[in-house]
């Protein structure tokens, strides 16, 4: 499915179930060290109670009491609190509310699964699953869910026969790739996580999805492959990709052409200087003016030598591929300037796009402009939080400082 610039996905989770590791806790320090290197430094250990029903029957007229077993799970989160790995004795799950592309999402998951395999030497995989939650929020005045969803999943939600509590559509199918469950939930209120995830650790949902309390729909698509296979990272990647393809087909079948058009449109940021009137050397000058990267860092980002950068500064010819990269980075600079972002070295070193900096996104061949839009949103949200905190304490009375504070009065024995 074509990448949607303004995609409605607000929560994604993938889960891999493998052979049980009963002494997992002994491996956690080594795993945690690697997770910090992978940009997931927020570590927590949580103990929860698992209720197990008795296996036996009724003895002497009484049923055996269920047993409660304390279990541990380990959480590895990113700094922004938008992505989280959960690990227990036989399961790894990866959740994010900052979904970029499937390529990026799966690469992050497989990297961490590789870290686990290096430490634990996994024997087999029992199941693989991926689940997407998409929020359908009509974008324009006068639009309804009928503009975004096909009639088959609307149920009776648009009938004016009373106050709608909720409408649910669910279809389960067996595909060549595994099991696929496609649901649409229509209701009033705030966008949130499904009831079966209540109480479980989860990253924060982006505010652009939670601000509305009106009628909306949640597209909940869950695909899984359940069959024991010898652990093979390449095969896991293949299974995961096939499941994603099934989800994409299901999603496209549930939404209208109008919805796809709306979600494919970028949230346009008007920039002061359209890139079409700038030459590659002018784009390079814009990058250096705004982002101020070292020549060596810029060369590494673009995959060229330092001498090439100096040549471009002298208006020497630039290959089309490199000209496109310069244009994208210059657009990213335009976005940050237009959005009023204070640009400094700390901002450019900040890891925000699935654990990557702005320059690392560009180095990976992905859109630096789109990453800059995300960075600007994060900056504005945090700046708003700082301003609200400042206003909250602005009128608080200050305790006057005195020279004799906490000292004995004259004539007192010390």
Final residue before a domain boundary, out of 264, 292, 313 = 264
E strands in 307-349: none
**Residues 202 and 350 occupy one common structural domain:** no
**Residues 112 and 201 occupy one common structural domain:** yes
Q: How far apart are CA 123 and CA 19, in angstroms?
A: 6
**Residues 79 and 216 occupy one common structural domain:** yes
Cβ neighbours of 125 (radius 10 Å): 22
Closest to 126 (Cα-Cα) out of 68, 84, 178: 178
Question: What pLDDT, on the 0 to 100 scale, is given for residue 273?
Answer: 40
Q: In which order are the strands placed within the sheet that holds 9-18? A: 42-52, 67-77, 83-87, 91-96, 9-18, 124-136, 216-230, 179-187, 167-174
List per-block mean pLDDT (blocks of 10 residues) for the chain, which spans 414 residues: 69 96 94 93 83 57 64 90 94 93 93 96 97 87 84 80 81 94 91 78 83 86 96 95 94 89 59 55 90 91 92 88 90 87 87 84 85 82 75 63 45 45
Question: What pLDDT, on the 0 to 100 scale, is given for residue 405?
Answer: 40
pTM: 0.62
**Residues 246 and 151 occupy one common structural domain:** yes
Q: How far apart are CA 44 and CA 75, in angstroms?
A: 5
- Tokens representing 160 are 């004016």
**Residues 298 and 211 occupy one common structural domain:** no
Q: How far apart are CA 234 and CA 17, in angstroms?
A: 16
Question: What pLDDT, on the 0 to 100 scale, is given for residue 266?
Answer: 45
Cβ neighbours of 86 (radius 10 Å): 20
**Residues 259 and 317 occupy one common structural domain:** no
Long-range pairs for 256-259 at CB < 8 Å and ≥24 separation? 256/147, 256/148, 256/149, 256/150, 258/147, 258/148, 259/136, 259/147, 259/148, 259/149
Q: How far apart are CA 239 and CA 75, in angstroms?
A: 25
Query: Residue 347: inside a domain, yes or no?
Result: yes
Query: Residue 398: inside a domain, yes or no?
Result: no
In contact, 331 and 271? CB cutoff 8 Å: yes
Domain ranges, residue 314: 275-392
Residues 6+ apart with CB under 8 A from 345: 292
């Amino acid at each position: 499915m074509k990448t949607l610039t303004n995609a409605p996905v607000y929560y994604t989770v993938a889960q891999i179930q493998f052979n049980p590791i009963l002494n997992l806790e002994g491996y956690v320090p080594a795993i945690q060290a690697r997770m910090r290197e992978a940009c997931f430094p927020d570590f927590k250990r949580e103990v929860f109670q698992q209720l197990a029903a008795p296996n036996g029957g009724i003895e002497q007229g009484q049923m055996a009491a269920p047993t409660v077993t304390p279990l541990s799970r380990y959480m590895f989160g990113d700094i922004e609190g938008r992505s989280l790995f959960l690990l227990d004795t036989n399961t790894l799950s990866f959740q994010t509310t900052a979904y970029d592309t499937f390529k990026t999402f799966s690469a992050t998951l497989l990297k961490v699964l590789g870290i686990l395999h290096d430490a634990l030497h996994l024997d087999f995989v029992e199941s693989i699953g991926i689940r997407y939650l998409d929020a359908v929020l009509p974008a324009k005045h006068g639009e309804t869910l009928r503009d975004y969803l096909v009639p088959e999943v609307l149920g009776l939600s648009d009938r004016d026969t009373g106050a709608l509590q909720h409408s649910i559509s669910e279809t389960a199918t067996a595909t060549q790739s595994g099991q696929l469950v496609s649901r649409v939930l229509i209701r009033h209120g705030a966008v949130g996580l499904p009831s079966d995830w209540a109480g479980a650790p989860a990253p924060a949902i982006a505010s652009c999805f939670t601000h509305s309390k009106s009628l909306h729909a949640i597209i909940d698509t869950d695909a899984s492959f359940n069959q024991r296979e010898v652990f093979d990272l390449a095969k896991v990647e293949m299974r995961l990709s096939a499941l994603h393809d099934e989800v994409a087909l299901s999603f496209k079948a549930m939404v209208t052409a109008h919805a796809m058009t709306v979600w494919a449109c970028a949230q346009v940021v008007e920039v002061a200087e359209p890139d079409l009137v700038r030459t590659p050397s002018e784009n390079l000058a814009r990058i250096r003016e705004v982002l101020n990267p070292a020549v060596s860092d810029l060369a590494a980002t673009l995959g060229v030598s330092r001498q090439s950068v100096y040549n471009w500064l002298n208006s020497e010819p630039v290959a089309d591929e490199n000209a496109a990269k310069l244009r994208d980075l210059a657009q990213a600079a335009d976005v940050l300037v237009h959005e009023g972002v204070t640009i400094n070295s700390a901002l450019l070193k900040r890891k925000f796009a699935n654990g990557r900096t702005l320059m690392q996104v560009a180095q990976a061949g992905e859109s630096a402009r789109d990453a800059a839009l995300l960075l600007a949103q994060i900056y504005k949200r945090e700046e708003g939080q700082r301003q609200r905190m400042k206003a909250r304490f602005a009128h608080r009375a200050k305790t006057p400082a005195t020279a004799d504070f906490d000292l004995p009065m004259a004539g007192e024995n010390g």
